[in-house]
Structure 1
Amino acid sequence: MKNNSSLLVFKRQLLLCTGLLGISICISSCHKPEIELVEQPVFDTDTTGDLIVKRTFITYNIYKDRLYPYAMYSISPELLAGLKDKDAVTAEQALWNSMQKDKQGHEKIFRLFSDLIPEMYRKDVKYFSVSMPSSAYATMSTLKDNSLESFNLEVDAKLLTYLDSIPRFKAPAYTYNTLGYSYPIYTLIHEFGHYVTFNKEQSYLKYLPDSDTYTSVPKPGSIRDSLMVNYWNRYMDQAGIDCWMKHGYTYYFCGPANEFVSGYASTSRDEDAAETFAHFVLLDDKPAATTAVNRKLLLFYQNPRMVAIRQGIRENLKKLGIAPRNPTMP
């Protein structure tokens, strides 16, 4: 009896240990591994942008400074129509396809923009497009004609090839005066200047019943409104338009001296706003109100948000080690 009793106790202990071991194994093997939860981006339900140009081959959504393909475009028949032979058409299509798939290259350009411009000041720049090389290095526009909610930055696929090139300029127009900064740096700040002078803080939409469309109108006291009231109104008569056409679509020589920061600024009020913004950001010192150019710059200094934006961009330039240099391009 004693032996049988001991054997029974042993069996019970063995079963207990086996059970505990099984539970231990189950706990360790059935425990779910930690899974990194990736937040899924939520995008607006916009359709293809109204202002996408024929040389655009891809548009991305921007979400937390990452790019997500939004729309890919086929090569335009208009672009192929001007090519001389079948080989040229094949080469153009191959180039289009190659550039369209170069997401890494697109991300490098966008990264420069996001490194330059603080994210908190570009909330409505929700789209990023890349286009075939052309004379337009970059553009900024609303994605849709009837909305100021979403802006699209479009860039030349080869924009970064100019990263070490500082354009030369000469009097009297100073057309290519980028203040010693390379084309990509200056251009991206210029295009951001369109956004900060055109967005819903500065503008509103006006419905045009005759054409059943909308147009952006500057709010009273905004940068573009102030430029129109104080400077551009006098160019809107026939004499001003004739002078503009005579000088190659620029008002640089049609008004008083020292009224534009560059020749390009004199082509339209909106370019005047963007060019003046770029100079406002990149020039070191706040000017005295001695010239029209300086008074335009002071319009930005009078706006606390613009001053904060300027400081943010300049701090980023410093972090990136970007400073003005001497011109290098012929």
Structure 2
Amino acid sequence: MQRLFFWIFTNCFLLLGYLSYDAITLPDDSDLPITEATSEVVIEKGDSYLTKVTDLIGDPLDFSSGSLTKAGASIEQNRSALIKESTIVTYKVTDGALSDESINYSNTKQQNYAKDTLQHYELWDSFTTIIPSELRSNVKSFSIFSDGTSNLLGYVEPLDYAADTWQLGVDFADSTDKKNFYYTLIHEYGHLLTLGNDQMVINYDWSTSSETESTYSSFYGESIPDSYMNLYYQEFWLDYYKEWQHLDVQNNVEAQKEFYLQHPDDFLTTYAVVHPEEDIAESWTFFILSPRQENTTVAQEKQNFFYQFPELIEIRTHILENLLTEVKKD
């Protein structure tokens, strides 16, 4: 009888230990191998954050200024004279924090705002809250400007020709429309994601480019074959890129309207026709800020393009979790 009790006790103890071990070592979502099944779990988690954001501020793609056509600036162009004249203050970014303030004293209209350091830090805090630190480590400069409301909302540009480091610029006048501001920050990160030096061959010989090149070329370099930008270009722009170039859509407002009307189901916003790089940034922002679509139009396919990359699904969920944190501050 004693042996029987000992056997029962021993086996119960081992079973309890086994169950306890499973409970302790069961991996969370971040430890699971990336498979289609686990990606679905991450998508659902991201959607749950999006639902909570929507409950607090409404549809994040519906904001009062109607500036969906104005989110971002062409990454191919250096800052225009307009931006230089409207720059108010610029900071260096060191270890993710602002330092070495530089005021543009020639902008006499904005001298009062130039001294409002607290508001500068609040704008930067919004960006650093929404975009995870490991995704913005190459942002080494932060500029605040204003050209009035609903014009240029923000921009990013490389600080060096190798595109190792970047500057983020935001228009403080447009930041008062919070949903518009969140949209802009996510859009601008879309440029950092798709045009960084891990996505492109820098120091590209622009004089050798042609309309028949096999990969997408930017002003700063040539996209590597499996980069997000090149894959997007190959899938969505190859058929009408020559037409777009011939019509000079990038520089002609009337051509932009006409091109959009010719392809109304191909673009998520009218601004997306301005440039392939703006198109992917707009699609990226819709990917973050709305649920997966049904692929009934090319525009929806563009939004869903990013779901094929498990790492971008993870980033979407982190950004939405962080956006919820930012929204709760207000």
Q: TM-score, normalised by structure 1?
A: 0.63
Judged with a 3 Å threshold, the aligned counterparts in structure 2 of structure 1 residues 53 and 232 are, in CA distance, closer, same or farther, namely: farther
Q: Distance in 2 between matches of 1:70 and 1:149?
A: 22
Judged with a 3 Å threshold, the aligned counterparts in structure 2 of structure 1 residues 71 and 314 are, in CA distance, closer, same or farther, namely: same
1:106 maps to which of 100, 104, 120: 120
1:194 maps to which of 191, 194, 215: 191
Counterpart contact for 2:203–2:220, Cα < 8 Å: yes
Instruction: Give the structure, 1 or 2, with the largest relative contact order (CA under 8 Å, sep 6 or more).
Output: 2
1:150 aligns with 2:157: no
2:231 maps to which of 220, 226, 234: 226
Judged with a 3 Å threshold, the aligned counterparts in structure 2 of structure 1 residues 66 and 240 are, in CA distance, closer, same or farther, namely: closer
1:72 is displaced (CA, Å) by 3.6
Q: Distance in 1 between matches of 2:253 and 2:86?
A: 30
Q: TM-score, normalised by structure 2?
A: 0.63
Amino acid at match of 1:227: Y
1:253: which partner in 2? 261
Matches within 5 A, 1:67-82: 67-69=98-100, 71-75=102-106
195-204 or 291-300, larger mean C-alpha shift: 291-300
**Percent identity for Structure 1 against Structure 2:** 25
Q: Distance in 1 between matches of 2:201 and 2:172?
A: 32
Judged with a 3 Å threshold, the aligned counterparts in structure 2 of structure 1 residues 242 and 53 are, in CA distance, closer, same or farther, namely: same
2:320: which partner in 1? 314
> Number of aligned pairs?
234
Judged with a 3 Å threshold, the aligned counterparts in structure 2 of structure 1 residues 268 and 115 are, in CA distance, closer, same or farther, namely: same
Root mean square deviation of aligned Cα: 2.7
1:56 is displaced (CA, Å) by 1.6
Counterpart contact for 2:268–2:282, Cα < 8 Å: yes
Judged with a 3 Å threshold, the aligned counterparts in structure 2 of structure 1 residues 109 and 264 are, in CA distance, closer, same or farther, namely: same
1:258 is displaced (CA, Å) by 2.0
Q: Distance in 2 between matches of 1:154 and 1:243?
A: 26
2:202: which partner in 1? 205
Give 5+ residue unaligned stretches, structure 2: 1-77, 209-218
Amino acid at match of 2:326: L
Counterpart contact for 2:204–2:222, Cα < 8 Å: no
Q: Compare the two structures and name the one with the higher helix fraction.
A: 2
Q: Distance in 2 between matches of 1:306 and 1:197?
A: 11
Amino acid at match of 1:149: D
1:264: which partner in 2? 271
Matches within 5 A, 1:87-102: 93=108, 95-102=109-116
Give 5+ residue unaligned stretches, structure 1: 1-49, 76-91, 164-181, 323-330
